[in-house]
Amino acid sequence: MVPDINLLPQLEKRADSPKLFYSLLILVVGIVLIYLMFLYFTAKSDLSMLLEEEESLTTQVDQLQQELDAKQSVNQGSLEESMLFVQRVSYPVTPLMEEVQKLLPAYSYLRSYEFQPDLINVTIDFESMPDISKYVEKLLVSPYFTDAKINSISNFYVQVGKQQELTSEQKFKEVPRYSVSITATIDQMYLAGGGQS
């Protein structure tokens, strides 16, 4: 009997393991490349969105800065101008307000007032037209004012709570109230003398 001795190495087994290794390596490299491409495109889209947002925010900041500059430049004035204005407009308003309210007829309401350098504008609600004329006459006689004039008169109906709109017949039966805007010229000399001349 002849012994069967094979001295050649077995090549088939070794050939299978590098193929498997290389195929796994290619697969892993492919997955990594796909993942990197995904990250690249995601980052690129995020970058474009962020650039657009940055551009819109920059535009908004520019607009707000322009508005701020415009508002700051409008109200800028020197300290001397402010002092002159205060000295020119400064006068006691309490006696004027007391006089305006003291002269009001019954059932009238002082709605608003505004002071100017030598005028006072008041808006008052009156019950009737004769009350308006009597009030203006009292202002003309008052030592605190040199002149008084009516700027506007409008009528309105008093509504308590939520009422439906009045019909023509109801409006005819109900007497409206009058909202009157009056401008009175202040007597600066009398006011500066403390209300006694």
Q: Please give the single-letter amino acid code of residue 144.
A: Y
Q: How confident is the model at residue 50 (pLDDT cuts 50, 70, 90)?
A: very high
Who contacts 117 (Cβ-Cβ below 8 Å, separation ≥6)? 88, 89
Q: Answer with the residue of higher pLDDT: 45 or 158.
A: 45
Is residue 104 classed exposed, middle or buried when 0-12, 13-18 and 19+ CB atoms within 10 A define those classes? middle
- Backbone dihedral angles phi then psi of residue 75, each to the nearest 5 degrees: -95, 15
Residue range 100-123: average pLDDT? 89
Rounded to two decimals, the pTM is 0.50
